[in-house]
Each structure stands twice: as C-alpha cells, then as structure tokens.
C-alpha cells in the first residue's frame, strides 16, 4: 500500500511535535524514521495510526485521501501500529490477545483463530505457544504476537515504534527477517528508531526528524556521519573507557544464590572494587535481572552472603541496602522509578532526606532548576514526569540519585535512548565512578556492555560465567555465550 502523509502539524501546548511533515512511502518499502529523543517520531506515527488527531494535514492511502479518527479506522484502512510499549493484555493468554478486537459472532471462534495463528506464525518462523500467558513472554515475543494479530486483521502498512529496544539479538534477527518478508509481499513498513545500525542494516530509505521538522531523507549507501549530523545538527563521538579508581571493595558477593518460580541463579562470587563497572549480559530473563534485584535488596536471596561497604547485608531489607549507599534504577522508569502525576520539583523534594515537617517549595524549586540544568533535562520544574520523553525521564532519574553512593545498580540504563543521550548518561555515570561509586548494569546491547564495563558476567538460563575481562572479550564470543554456546570451559573451571 502506498502511504502518504501530507503537511502534518501537531502541537502539545507550547511543544511543536510535528511541523508540516510530508512523507511518501511506496508499497514494498521499509522506510526508516530516524530522530533523537523527542523529535516527534512517535507523534507522527500515532497520527497515521489513528491514535492521535493531527491539528491539520492529510493522510493519503493508495492515492485516496482517507480520514482516520481512531485506531479502528486505521486498521479498517489497512494501517496497523506496534507501539513502543506493546499495547496488549499481559494477564491474558496469547490466543485471547490474538482474537481480541477481531469482529465476529458471539463466540470467539477459538479453533479457527488458533489455526490461522499457527499458519501465520509458521510463515514467519515465530514459535509462540497460543496457550501461554502474555505476562510470561519477552518483549520480543509480544511484538511477534502483535505482528501476527495485525496481519490477521488485514494490515497492509505496519508501523514499528522502536521495536529493537528491549529485545535480544536473536529476536532482532528474526524481526528483521520478518520485516523483509513483509516488504517482499508488498506491505509498507515504517520503522521508527534512533539506532543507526538498525536503520542502516534494514531500511530501504530513511527520513530524519529533528525538533518536529523533517530535516532530510537518505538512501543507501548511508554514511553514519551524515545521518548523525542530520539527527542532531552536529557531529558527536563516544567517550573513552576510564581506568578503575582502585582502593578497596564496594561489594563482595560470597556464593550468592537467588531464585524465583522460574529460574535459579546459583553460587555467584564477585568482588567489585571502587569505581569499577560490571556489565551483565544475557538474553532477557536469563537471570541477570533477578541477580540485580537480589544485590539491590529487593529480592531475598536463598543462599550466600552480600557485603556492601564492609557491612553484611544478607537478608536485610531494601532500606538497609539504601542506607548503606546501594541505589537501584529499574528499567520500567514510569512504573518503578518515577511517580506519574508528580512533577520534577516534587520528585526532587521527595528524594532528599526529610528536613522538617513542612515542605520548603522554594528550596525544592531551586534544587530542581539546578539539577535540570546540570543533567540537561528537557523540561521545567513543573513538568510531570510522564510528559517527558524517554531520554529525559532517564536523565531525571539520574539527577534524582543522592550523593555519595557506594554502588549503583542499573537495569537497561540507556534502553530507548538515542546516541547523544546514551553518551551523555554514560559520561554522567563515569563521573560518579571517578568519585568511587561502583556500577553494575544489565543491558541487551552488546556494544554497550563491551564499551562501558570493566568486567562482564554473562547469564544463560540461570548459569553465570565468572567475571570476564571486558577488554579481552570479543563481540562474537560474547554473542555465543549469550546464546548458550561455549560454556564448557566454565563448567570444568568451577568444579575444579
């Protein structure tokens, strides 16, 4: 299906999210939409998919102007969207999610739906069990489910809003293969991302947005430098690895074991020195998240000891960990890290140690202004956190951390962030390392792991490698370990 957006305008109060954007995408094309955080990519896609109404402008499909006022209208016209955060029903089964929204008789027609589901899934090589519950699936699998569902509903143009954040390398390969297959079938793909390597490897053409404007288009062969300049209006480069600050341990793990109802992580021993960065690699749900939560005191351990800052914290509460300088930043920023509905000033006031019964708003506002400037957050002290874009939420979270910290635990610190924000966040983190804070972070981005960590732990279905020196580790070796290959050397090593 040929998709054309004509002169789209959209503002949110003072923010101009889309300014006169015109874009034509012929059928069978994978169109990349590139842009930094807050550039207006999601807004444009939400307008095309009927989730939002443009202030002005038109949508033309296969040469005919259409009026799309709701997602239901969009899917009727053949336009389907996968949202940045999959819009599905976690406590329901896969097949129920698949059926939900399909018009039909009183009975859901499970048998027929299951047949179609299986046929479609086979076509793309997705292995999804229709009877499993969605909350047990990875983000990648939830995407696969949404793709199948939209195709079943007759989508001929598919929008993907940052589909590669939060999925494993293997799932990414599968996704890309599926997208190429869809394009071959004549479907139109709009692929939103700020990861250059994804766009370069996949897209037939790229449009770049900056601050609401369409600032340029490009076709292969792409040059990274050119794309980066279009995205940011300037060229940027990554920071260097910092040597370890040295001088004592901040964290000692002694045969730590932790488990939940799915997974067991056994006997991890680790000695983290001041200012050191430890990267946790592995496919989503391999145990690294559980491990991180155990070290943060949020999940109770079932064996071994945790010593932080010289104190034995085994079995202590999360607050005891916090008091001893351990901080945890979860991946689900809005669910666990920030409080929706509160503005930035209120967040800063809450995160400071209590000082009297009444709140000193003046002081809080000043603090907020200072930190907002210091961390380059695009927002005002009165902005509520949910109105910030992903990158700015993450900056705000970092700005909220108290000084000094012994140990900082991060879950996907730069998930969903563009390169500039990523580099900025890491430069702030490295500043802390220089002051002696140790960092343990998990990430599904291998390059991030290798670039920023001093040592790496690889997780595979609950098994953990001994700490590996990051400077000696190669990307392909790491990729193999994550996929469960090449573990024999560690098994023998451990029993010895």
Partner 1 sequence: MDTNTILVGLAGVLALAAPILFAVIGETITERAGIINLSLNGTILLSAIGGFAVACETGSLLLGFLMGMLVGALVALIVAFSSITLRQSQVAVGFVLALLGRDLSYFLGTPYMNISGPRLAALPIPFLKDIPVLGPLFFRQDVLTYLSFAIIFLVWLWIFRTRPGLMLRGIGERPAAAFVRGANVNLMRYVYTIIGGAVIGLAGPAYSLNVKAGWMGYQSGLDGFGWIALSITIFGGWNPLRAAFGAYLFSLLQWLGLVLQPVLPGIPSQVLQVAPFPLMILTLLLVNISNAEWVERMLAAMPEGLRHVTTRLLRAMRASPPASLGVPFESE
Ligand X SMILES: Nc1ncnc2c1ncn2[C@@H]1O[C@H](COP(=O)(O)OP(=O)(O)OP(=O)(O)O)[C@@H](O)[C@H]1O
Residue 135: CA atoms inside 13 Å, Cβ hemisphere, count? 5
Nearer to ligand X, 15 or 327 (CB): 15
SS3 417: coil
30 binds partner 1 (CB under 8 A): no
Give the DSSP H or E segment for 239.
none
CB of 164 to ligand X, least distance (A): 12
Span interacting with ligand X, options 34-42, 74-82, 222-230, 308-316, rule CB under 6 A? 34-42
Tokens of 238: 């990554």
Q: What are phi and psi of 351, to 5 degrees?
A: -85, -15
Residue 182 neighbours by CB under 8 Å, 6+ apart: 158, 189
CB of 265 to partner 1, least distance (A): 14
Nearer to Mg ion, 42 or 286 (CB): 42
Instruction: Please list every residue from 385 through 404 that binds ligand X, using CB under 6 A.
Output: 387, 389-391
Site string for partner 1, 299-338 (x = CB under 8 A): -xxx------------------------------------
Which of 8, 30, 34, 40 contacts ligand X by CB under 6 A? 40
Residue 194 binding result from ligand X, partner 1, Mg ion, none, given CB thresholds of 5 to 8 Å by partner type: ligand X
Which of 2, 6, 9, 15 contacts ligand X by CB under 6 A? 15
Instruction: Please list every residue from 243 through 272 that binds partner 1, using CB under 8 A.
Output: 261
Nearer to Mg ion, 42 or 250 (CB): 42
CA nearest to 275, candidates 105, 438, 450, 100: 438
Nearer to partner 1, 89 or 361 (CB): 89
Residue 51 binding result from partner 1, ligand X, Mg ion, none, given CB thresholds of 5 to 8 Å by partner type: partner 1
Instruction: Please list every residue from 176 through 215 that binds ligand X, using CB under 6 A.
Output: 194
Nearer to Mg ion, 200 or 418 (CB): 418
Question: In angstroms, what CA-CA distances link 407 with 62, 192, 274, 465?
Answer: 56, 35, 9, 21
70 binds partner 1 (CB under 8 A): yes
Strand order in the sheet with 311-312: 264-273, 249-259, 303-308, 311-312
**Burial per residue of 13-41, b for 16 or more beta-carbon CB atoms within 10 angstroms, e otherwise:** eeebbbbebebebeebbbbbbbbbbbbbb
SS3 243: coil
User: Is residue 251 exposed (0-12), middle (13-18) or buried (19+ Cβ within 10 Å)?
Assistant: buried
Q: What are phi and psi of 173, to 5 degrees?
A: -60, -45
CB 286, CB 442: distance < 8 Å: no
CB of 432 to ligand X, least distance (A): 24
Span interacting with partner 1, options 15-23, 69-77, 125-133, 238-246, rule CB under 8 A? 69-77
Question: Measured at the alpha carbon of residue 415, what is the angle toward residues 181 and 201, in degrees to the nearest 5?
Answer: 35
CB 424, CB 262: distance < 8 Å: no
37 binds ligand X (CB under 6 A): yes
Which of 31, 41, 183, 291 contacts ligand X by CB under 6 A? 41
What residues make contact with partner 1 under the rule CB under 8 A? 46, 51-53, 70-72, 75, 81, 83, 87-89, 91-92, 96, 99-109, 261, 300-302
User: What residues line the site for ligand X (CB under 6 A)?
Assistant: 12, 15, 17, 35, 37-43, 194, 387, 389-391
């Amino acid at each position: 299906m040929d998709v054309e957006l004509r002169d789209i305008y959209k503002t949110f109060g003072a923010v101009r999210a889309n300014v006169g954007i015109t874009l034509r995408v012929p059928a069978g094309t994978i169109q990349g939409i590139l842009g930094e955080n807050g550039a207006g990519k999601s807004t444009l896609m939400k307008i095309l998919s009927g989730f939002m109404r443009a202030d002005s402008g038109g949508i033309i499909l296969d040469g005919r102007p259409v009026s799309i006022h709701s997602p239901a209208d969009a899917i009727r016209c053949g336009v389907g969207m996968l949202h940045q955060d999959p819009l599905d029903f976690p406590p329901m089964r896969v097949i129920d999610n698949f059926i939900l929204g399909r018009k039909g008789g009183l009975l859901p027609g499970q048998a027929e739906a299951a047949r179609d589901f299986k046929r479609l899934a086979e076509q793309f090589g997705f292995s999804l069990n229709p009877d499993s519950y969605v909350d047990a699936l990875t983000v990648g699998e939830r995407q696969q489910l949404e793709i199948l569902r939209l195709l079943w509903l007759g989508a001929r143009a598919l929008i993907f809003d940052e589909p590669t954040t939060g999925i494993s390398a293997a799932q990414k390969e599968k996704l890309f293969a599926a997208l190429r297959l869809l394009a071959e079938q004549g479907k139109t793909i709009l692929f939103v991302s700020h990861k250059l390597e994804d766009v370069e490897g996949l897209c037939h053409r790229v449009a770049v947005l900056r601050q609401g404007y369409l600032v340029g288009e490009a076709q292969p062969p792409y040059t990274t430098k050119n794309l980066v300049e279009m995205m940011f209006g300037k060229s940027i480069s990554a920071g260097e690895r910092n040597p370890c600050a040295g001088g004592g341990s901040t964290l000692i793990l002694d045969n730590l074991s932790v488990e939940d109802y799915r997974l067991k992580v056994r006997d991890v021993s680790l000695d983290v020195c001041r200012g050191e960065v430890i990267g946790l690699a592995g496919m989503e749900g391999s145990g690294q998240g559980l491990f991180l939560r155990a070290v943060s005191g949020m999940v109770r351990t079932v064996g071994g000891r945790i010593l932080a800052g010289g104190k034995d914290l085994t079995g202590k509460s999360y607050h005891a960990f916090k008091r001893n300088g351990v901080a945890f930043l979860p991946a689900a920023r809005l669910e666990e890290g920030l409080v929706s509905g509160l503005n930035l000033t209120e967040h800063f006031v809450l995160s400071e140690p209590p000082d009297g019964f009444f709140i000193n708003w003046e002081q809080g506002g000043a603090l907020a202004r200072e930190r907002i400037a210091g961390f380059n957050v695009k927002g005002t002290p009165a902005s509520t956190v949910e109105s910030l874009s992903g990158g700015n939420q993450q900056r705000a979270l970092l700005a909220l951390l108290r000084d000094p910290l012994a140990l900082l635990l991060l879950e996907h610190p730069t998930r969903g962030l563009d390169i500039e924000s990523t580099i900025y966040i890491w430069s702030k983190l490295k500043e802390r390392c220089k002051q002696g804070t140790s960092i343990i972070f998990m990430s599904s981005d291998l390059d991030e792991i290798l670039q920023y960590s001093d040592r790496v732990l690889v997780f595979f279905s609950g098994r953990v490698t001994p700490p590996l020196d990051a400077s000696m580790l190669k990307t392909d070796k790491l990729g193999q370990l994550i996929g469960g290959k090449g573990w024999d050397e560690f098994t023998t090593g451990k029993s010895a």
